[in-house]
Structure 1
């Protein structure tokens, strides 16, 4: 087995030669000295914000520190011939209004829908009736899904569709909050009478709509956003394979257990999306997630946005409580009365700004934001499809339905997930880590050589800091990846032999590579104390900040993480409203 931590210089040269269109994002060689607005970071939210600002008639530039646009929504050929969605890897949460406003289909966005949506194989003796271990395959076909769940519990098979309907009704009730900014507590408490009235007026409209839609369902909603996922799931179901499969959505990307209070909200957050008009559906972007970022960039450029890669920002400039522009790492000053930061709140306020330019109370609140992350992403190139004992491949080795969805490994019970969480709390990884496997090349033939595949492993729980003072280095990365591969081998013998190369991104790697503080994919934990009115901080919710003209447009702002675009859109709308 070949373990690949490729030389960065060699990697850069290959990417520059084969994908140059991603880097030369504008015809200008360097930014001008002034714009109406500067966007820090060319992640998907930054590109959305830039496009909306330009749509509002402003001159805008985007400054991206990496050689490639997209932030965490990026495609990289890290192993020759294999294109990986290196960080984020599936699409659902992108707001329909953004897709429409920015005409992303016109710019070539192509989606591959997934159905079924989840597959959970078991580690058990072969079933007498089928000769293979059992597995759980869940999709939109009610009859087939009923039969799959009924293997474990007829009662659960009956309850499952009622459960889905309940989640759908709660999600539909919450939709207005995803597309509107929360009230700003600072203006409500210390603003002028006119500002207070405006904040209340703008905040009440979506809240009234939510309340009207919830109606008698308010108790269910309250339970859903405050309870442990296990409490909610135990009320609905009795079979562990089903409960554990559903519980993964309650913990994915979050350093919490299914037994943690509020984990049900994380579950709800992950079913808030839609794709091609189908509620809760997920899909693959053809060409990887970077293709979405390319479409966003092209839409922004056609509206006049100037985009520059390899342009890290060193400092955000302000004077007398107002933003005045930015200084790049090479010392270039770019003046702007509006700056939108796609970086995390931690990076924006503690690394790009001077402490003296911020109110001390606000600075302390930013430093208190929880960025704990459990995620290690492993991108794998393989020369054949994984062959699961519970669902053997066909002789021609063509993808089957279960290869095309999210494959849950070590998820036969919620206790397994909880044990993995407890190990991380001690600075260790569990011998059976939680693994979400996707194989986008099973649907998208552009990602790998014929007959080969890219396998994306979203794994948990891995601590940022290991016990005993150990560091994440080549040795510990390899040891953890070997542990993950050993688990996969038990479900799909031959997997390890099929590996062509791998790329391992622990929480510190995610922080270094993508600027994700703590390795947190949401730009801050999606906990109840860091949502809506308190995201990113209790007194400055949404995109506004204590510095006039400076806005947060990344996932650290409301409504939070995922490839949603809403934080970028809302930040731009706030900025445009201020400038009127």
Structure 2
């Protein structure tokens, strides 16, 4: 695997001095921690961010992972849907996203010939694509009805994410659609998918939004797949997934700049080891390469997992979490040609390119992984950031036609890698790319660029790699199972509260956490400001 280059430049701001005291200390400089820091500092509060790594950004960073190659990739998280425009406006962020003209392309072989389903490029074109695949207009009409329903839910639910938590009954009343409530909140999503659609491929395309980062079957009685689906279709009130201009690091760079400009102190290379609190004030112990130190705070906001929070406070840890994905970054000399010659690769890869994600294929892969085996046909999806935003590539690469590919694999839980992470990673990567090759007219390996040392420009991360690199428990990108966006037993007013009155959770493991949203950071800042008496 290629060597990792030096991380993004550190903040350049001084760290805390011994016996310093702040209104708020934020543990972790990921995007949610930076959102919280910016809100609190703009409200006139003294704020210190302590980040373990040598740079801020957490999982929302851009790096040049391939030696000597001018390609700045969104290394871990890569698309934006759940970030409210309110946060961008409130914090005056210099940050933009671009929409993708193509939503998805899903290749398949039917009647012995390669074909596929292209969604996007206008209503007429999408309708014709459904008709070619299924032989009638029925599935497209069902598609329109189904996503009309999710669109109405999105319009009503998304604005609540930056408000105090509604109760379940309040959210149900706000949605005001009993059929939608039953389909999304009460019955396994598989029921709705099978009722609405008949084509196996169409069913699979719909179901994938319920499985990204979540290891579950369509009919899982816990409804973890429903919660995952909900957060994937409500973003921005539309469910659209957009490309961050300049890469994901552009967002966290803008957030860090906003926090610093408002007066927050960002201290990288400071690993928090302990939080001691009596509910009114707290003492935070941290470690640097030069030794240990302490700092006092009225409030502590923890931008880390609930498991890490329990470690820091000495509380009982929550149930173990488990990630279930393979993340692969690639740089290509050119996009590969497709076996389905009716589709331009520039369109197929501009949206989400689904691989081995038919409905029955997803069920088989889940069953195999649940039985302790790697899926025989690993499901995954790919998209090409540089088609929508070529600024992440150097001018010479753009001129030569280079492109990036980001692959996200499903149904590969952390437990499968425990015996030998390196060996299983290589085996899974090989079989995943082999699945992609079945839909290509030329091997992907022939299209891969090489770095300055002649190595293929490809890197892969398993759940165990993500746990090591980012502290994600079990590699879970949501830190733990996603929660419904309404009050539940033990949740507080904002969904960020803990059993310690002055310790708040501002990471992905908060209620309404997960994804690149900034929502937990915003909500923790609002809760802290309420406790502190508002702006100073």
**Equivalent residue for 1:485?**
433
Q: Distance in 1 between matches of 2:201 and 2:212?
A: 17
Shift of residue 126, structure 1, vs aligned partner: 5.9
Tell me the secondary structure at the aligned position of residue 266 of structure 2.
strand
TM-score calculated relative to the size of structure 1:
0.83
1:144 aligns with 2:125: yes
- Following superposition, the deviation at residue 43 of structure 1 comes to 0.9
- Which residue does the alignment assign to 1:566? 519
Structure-1 separation of matches of 2:501 and 2:179: 39
Q: Which residue of 2 aligns with 1:340?
A: 301
* CA deviation profile, 1:239-282 (whole Å, cap 9, x unmatched): 111110111001111011223232233222101112xxx72222
Unaligned runs of 5+ in 1: 128-132, 183-202, 356-362
1:539 deviates by: 7.9
Pick the aligned partner of 1:285 from 233, 244, 250: 244
The alignment partner of 2:323 has SS state of: coil
Structure 2 gap ranges (5+): 449-455
Q: Which residue of 2 aligns with 1:197?
A: none
What residue number does 1:67 align with? 54
Confirm or deny that 1:533 pairs with 2:487.
Answer: yes
Q: What's 1:265 paired with?
A: 227
- Asked if structure 1 preserves the Cα contact closer than 8 Å seen for 2:200 and 2:360, the reply is no
Distance in 1 (CA, whole Å) between partners of 2:359 and 2:461 is 25
Tell me the equivalent position of 1:240. Answer: 200
Q: Distance in 2 between matches of 1:31 and 1:491?
A: 58
Residue 62 of structure 1 aligns to a residue in which SS? strand
Q: 2:425, 2:140 → 1: CA distance?
A: 40
- Give the distance between the partners of 1:54 and 1:539, measured in 2 at CA: 23
* Other-structure match for 1:159: 142
Contact 1:436 1:459 in 2 (8 A): yes
Q: Which 4+ runs in 1 deviate beyond 4 A?
A: 29-32, 124-127, 391-394, 537-541
Q: What is the distance in 2 between the residues matched to 1:539 and 1:291?
A: 32
Taking a change above 3 Å as real, the CA distance of residues 538 and 37 of structure 1, as seen in their structure-2 partners, is closer
| Inter-CA distance 254–322: structure 2 relative to 1 (3 Å threshold) | same
Shift of 1:140: 6.1
Selected match of 2:503 from 550, 557, 568 = 550
1:12-50 deviation per Cα after TM superposition (whole angstroms, max 9, x unaligned): 2xx4xxx53xx1x14325557222111111111111111
For residues 505-561 of structure 1, the C-alpha deviation after alignment (integer angstroms, 9 at most, x for no partner) is 111111111111111111211266xx64348x5689711112121100111112121
1:442 is aligned to: 387
Matches for 1:18-167 after TM superposition, within 5 Å: 19-20=8-9, 23=10, 25-28=11-14, 33-80=20-67, 81=69, 82-104=71-93, 107=94, 109-124=95-110, 127=113, 133-139=114-120, 141-151=122-132, 152=134, 153-167=136-150
Match of 2:413 among 455, 460, 463: 463
Q: d(CA) in 2 for partners of 1:545 and 1:481?
A: 39
Task: Count residues with an aligned counterpart.
Answer: 510
1:495 aligns with 2:444: yes
Aligned to 1:195: none
Local SS of the residue matching 1:470: coil
* Alignment-derived partner of residue 185 in structure 1: none
CA 65–546 in structure 1, closer or farther in 2 if over 3 Å, else same: same
Distance in 2 (alpha carbons) for counterparts of 1:452 and 1:143: 31
In structure 2, the residue corresponding to 1:134 is in which secondary structure?
A: strand
Match of 2:438, SS state, is helix
- Cα distance, 1:387 vs. partner? 2.0
The normalised TM-score by structure 2 is 0.90
CA RMSD in angstroms, aligned pairs only: 2.3
| 3-state SS, counterpart of residue 135 of structure 1 | strand
**Distance in structure 2 (CA, Å) of the matches to 1:145 and 1:421:** 29
